[in-house]
Chain A
Amino acid sequence: MSATIRVQREDFDVGAELDALSRGKTTIGGITSFVGLVRDVAGGQKITAMTLEHYPEMTERELHGIADEALRRWPLDALLIIHRFGRLAPGERIVLVATASAHRAAAFQSCHFLIDWLKTKAPFWKLEETPKGARWVDAEASDEAAAKRWIEE
């Protein structure tokens, strides 16, 4: 099975994407999905918009690498990553990660793994606009710790 990876400016329809993921694949027993959204507040500051910058060629390469690692670790029947770039308003969708497997444990674990690794490896950067001006979002130590949990011994 191969992963579907899209990096795009446009929004996506979560229901339609999940339908398409399992269509015709009756071995699938469950799908886990994660949808990341733009919040309207961060660090006590109101966020009026967020712009996602990325490094296109490397983003594709990193996302495929992360997906390949998930496929190696879990018995998945389908895997989808959609990540948006450009200027987004609070409430807009940023990312969709979905995994499908015969049983729920593989779907849950692999979906969690994918979003944790994506956050620390895929070359995207967030610029938040606030009433006091724009600021680049700093990487969180907690994201690094979350990603490290998935390092195999």
Chain B
Amino acid sequence: MKLLYFAWLRVRIGKAEESVELPAAVTTVAALLDWLKTRGPGFAEALKDTRIVRVAVNQRYVAGDHPVKTGDEVALFPPVTGG
């Protein structure tokens, strides 16, 4: 799975993107966020309040119960502030 991080999530996690092997138990967005939190202090800090984390799977906004699978592009970012 390809993971992308933007804005302050990118800064706190310390990278813009990475490829990861998903544990078999991780099948939803919510489970993915829970798993990512365990991957180090930067992840734990960036994802401590998931209410302000937006998730896009294959460039579409999704909710926590959305499925994730190998081959997906999953982006994590704060609420958007363009315009």
Residues on A with beta carbons closer than 8 Å to the beta carbon of B78: 125, 136, 139
A114 to chain B, nearest CB (A): 10
Closest B residue, CB atoms, query A52: B82
Whether B59 lies near A136 (C-beta < 8 A) is: no
Contact-residue bracket for chain A: 20 to 34
Contact-residue bracket for chain B: 10 to 19
Whether A58 lies near B56 (C-beta < 8 A) is: yes
Interface: B6 (CB within 8 A): yes
**8 Å CB interface, B34-73 against A:** 56, 59-61
A12 to chain B, nearest CB (A): 15
Residues of A within 8 A of B (CB): 36, 52-55, 57-58, 61, 83, 94-95, 115, 118-127, 136-140, 143
Known contacts A61-B59, A118-B83, then 6 further A-B pairs from the complex at CB < 8 Å, ordered by chain A residue: A54-B82, A55-B75, A58-B60, A123-B56, A123-B80, A125-B78
